[in-house]
Amino acid sequence: MYYHYALNIFLLACVNMIAVLGVSIFTGFTGLFSLGHAAFVGIGAYTAGVLTYHWYVPFPLAILAAMLASGAASLIIGVPTLRAKLRSDYFAIAIMGFGEALRVCLENLSITNGARGLSLDELSGPAWVVGALLASLAFARSLLKSRFGAMFVSVREDPVAAEMIGINLFRTRLLSLVVSAVLCGVSGALLAHRLAFIQPVMFTMTQSTQLLASVIAGGMGSVSGPVIVSLIFTALPEMLRNLEMYRLPAYGLLLVMIMIFRPQGLMGYREISDILRGARGFLSEKRR
Amino acid sequence: MFLQTLVTGLSIGAIYSLMAVGYSLIFSVLSFSNFAHGAVIMLGAYIGLALASKLGLGFALVMSGAGAGVIAMINERVAYAALRRRGAPSLYLMISAMGCSMFLENMVYATIGARFYAFPEFFGSRTVRLWGSSLSLLDLCAFVISVTAVFALHLFITRTRTGIAIRAGVNDMTMCSLMGVNTDRLISVVFFIAGAFAGVAGVFLGVRYLVYPTMGWVTNKAYIAAVIGGLGSLPGAMMGGLILGVLETLVSTYISSVMRDVFSFTALTALLICLPDGLMGAETEDKV
């Protein structure tokens, strides 16, 4: 019994991690602020959910469709707002409006069953969730190690200098957005078939800020930091059930404190592997 | 009927303007999106609610303006001042603002509760007859007070010494401080003004609709209004608010009230495609 409970929490955390990974690529590596990535999770969840609920589409195909839908939505919102060298504030505001508009649409469409939500089958078992998480991690790692990863970081550090050395700001930012939206879409599809129930209110700004909080607390420019923190953020509230009311104020306070005292977050531009390697290097240095 | 809709739209638009002007003022001075603006509006509404039943609407408006102004000032001192002095990137300020908003909103939720409160009836359904249509007194009152407040701010910024210092600060904060302006105090003044406007807007929103912890989400509209007018431009924010209010009311009267929010977002995206700088925005490109 207890084992099942713990397993469920762990799987939910894994699903969250995929979305956090997406936000980490966008906010942590490319340095753009998003208050609406829950909308991409929502699009993924509803695309997959509607497909399996109404048309009995096989689960793998539904995940694929969710990825496509989230990616397409990110293009619709990203192309006008990231175009040229507009300040990224426009993007933050536009995506916030987008999230709100999406919720209104979801609540009023008949195909999504409105605000009452959709009851689905529990299709994403442990193998699916863990497999998707590992695949996403491997993908994110290879993307960030590639030329594109270097481009993301240079755009974050100094957009002007990045442009000077011939990086197309718009394309780089858009690529980062699409990748992050696709990852959020996968997470949504898995979430919908993990909880077996979705509702429009599950994908509001509160969720977006939780994703963002994990990325900031874990450290911008790090993959392992946010992933670890999102595990803590999912597990901790379960242990402190009776303090549920104070969870969100605590997140808020945490964000402010981190920005003031430790803006690099838990891992800050480093990975677990760097730290391990660093420790080994330090030890061998001493020996010599 | 049309005149009635127009006046309702103008009154909602004037409330949006109050919020958008404060938000835009902070944006123009510190060049970051103050996402805690919504929380300040909400707190202003609660202050007004606590005072209105005993002391009347006029007094409640003044006190909640002053109270919300002080809250915004404290907010800046606690959450932004350290970052600002360190010269942190505006992304950090935005995250800190997001944290404040989360903290304040959810503290109210945890302490006062999620109940919806209504203001006592001040205007009832009293109306003014004008050219054959009946206009609600509340609408007229909100419109007149909001427009007067924005006009007073305009006079303050253009005619007084502090106002000139604010305009100088918008141009170049470092130079401004070299000229002997106490920038800390200047920024406090800016936050007080923005907070006071937010508080007054909060009371009007509370009288018109209801008071509840998440009522700050209306600031989405203020952000959209500010972007329509061009971020950082005060006349632009005023115009943007009025235009958005009128358009929204027309849409909900003649098309569908459900699609109102979808419409405002679509309008925003369309505007960003055609007029990326907003109606009155200067350059929005990041300068070298």
Residue A9 lies in a domain: yes
Residue A73 lies in a domain: yes
Do residues A234 and A8 make contact, with C-beta atoms less than 8 angstroms apart?
Answer: no
Q: Is B20 on the interface with A (CB under 8 A)?
A: no
Residue A285 lies in a domain: no
Successive 10-residue mean pLDDT values, chain A, 288 residues = 84 92 92 88 94 89 95 90 70 82 85 82 86 94 92 89 90 94 95 91 84 86 88 79 78 84 76 71 54
How confident is the model at residue B117, as a pLDDT? Answer: 87
Residue A263 lies in a domain: no
Phi/psi-derived region of residue A113, left when phi > 0, alpha when psi is between -120 and 50, beta in every other case? left
The count of domains in chain A is 1
Residue B28 lies in a domain: yes
Locate B49 and state its tokens.
């609610």
Residue B125 lies in a domain: no
Q: Is A195 on the interface with B (CB under 8 A)?
A: no
Share above pLDDT 90 across residues of chain B, in percent, rounded to a whole number: 28
How confident is the model at residue A288, as a pLDDT? Answer: 45
Domain that holds residue A51: 2-202
How confident is the model at residue B70, as a pLDDT? Answer: 96
Residue to mutate among B75, B96, B228, with most A CBs inside 10 A, is B96
Do residues B238 and B21 make contact, with C-beta atoms less than 8 angstroms apart?
Answer: yes
Locate B74 and state its tokens.
């404290």
CA B37 → CA A117, A145, B188, distances in Å?
A: 31, 39, 15
CA A187 → CA A175, B264, B282, distances in Å?
A: 18, 29, 40
- For B6, other C-beta atoms within 10 Å of its C-beta total 17
State phi, psi for B173 to the nearest 5 degrees. -65, -40
B34-45 pLDDT, tens per residue? 889 999 999 999
Residue A267 lies in a domain: no
Q: Chain A partners of B98 at a C-beta cutoff of 8 Å?
A: 35, 209, 212, 252, 255
Q: Chain A partners of B104 at a C-beta cutoff of 8 Å?
A: 252
Q: Chain A: give the shortest CA distance to residue B268, in Å.
A: 7
* CATH code of residue B153: 1.10.3470
DSSP string, A103-122: HHHHHH-TTTTGGG-EE---
SS3 string of A153-205? HHHHHCHHHHHHCCCCHHHHHHHHHHHHHHHHHHHHHHHHHHHCEECHHHHCH
A154-185 pLDDT, tens per residue? 998 888 899 899 999 899 999 999 999 999 99
Per-residue pLDDT of chain B (288 residues; tens, 9 = 90+): 788 888 889 989 999 999 999 999 998 888 888 889 999 999 999 999 888 878 888 888 899 999 999 999 999 999 998 888 888 888 788 888 988 998 998 899 888 888 888 888 766 666 777 676 677 788 888 889 998 998 999 899 889 999 999 888 888 888 888 988 898 999 999 999 999 999 999 999 988 888 888 888 888 888 888 888 887 788 888 989 999 999 888 888 888 777 787 888 788 777 777 777 777 765 544 444
Residue B279 lies in a domain: no
Q: Measured between alpha carbons, how far is B118 from B201 in angstroms, rounded to an integer? A: 15
- End-to-end Cα distance, chain B: 52
Residue B280 lies in a domain: no
Q: Measured between alpha carbons, how far is B131 from B136 in angstroms, rounded to an integer? A: 14
Q: Chain B partners of A90 at a C-beta cutoff of 8 Å?
A: 227, 231, 272, 276, 284
0.90 surpassed by pTM = no
Please, what is the angle between helix B37-55 and helix B183-208, to 10°?
60
Residue to mutate among B37, B95, B248, with most A CBs inside 10 A, is B95
DSSP A83: S
Q: Is B114 on the interface with A (CB under 8 A)?
A: no
Look at A104 and B104 and tell me if their CB atoms are within 8 Å.
no
Please, what is the angle between helix B2-30 and helix B137-159, to 10°?
30
Look at B102 and A263 and tell me if their CB atoms are within 8 Å.
no
B160-208 pLDDT, tens per residue? 999 999 888 888 888 888 988 898 999 999 999 999 999 999 999 988 8
B34 contacts: CB under 8 Å, gap ≥ 6: B23, B26, B27, B97, B194
Bridge partners (DSSP) of residue A185 are: none
Domain that holds residue B188: 2-120+136-274
Residue A271 lies in a domain: no
* CATH code of residue A188: 1.10.3470.10
In a 13 Å sphere around the CA of A286, the CA atoms on its Cβ side amount to 5
Residue B195 lies in a domain: yes
Residue B287 lies in a domain: no
**Chain A residue with minimum CA distance to B75:** A256
In a 13 Å sphere around the CA of B173, the CA atoms on its Cβ side amount to 13
How confident is the model at residue A66, as a pLDDT? Answer: 95
Q: Is A90 on the interface with B (CB under 8 A)?
A: yes
- For B217, other C-beta atoms within 10 Å of its C-beta total 15
How confident is the model at residue B288, as a pLDDT? Answer: 40
Locate B26 and state its tokens.
């902070």
The count of domains in chain B is 1
Do residues A73 and A43 make contact, with C-beta atoms less than 8 angstroms apart?
Answer: yes
How confident is the model at residue B287, as a pLDDT? Answer: 44
3-class SS of residue B279: coil
Residue B178 lies in a domain: yes
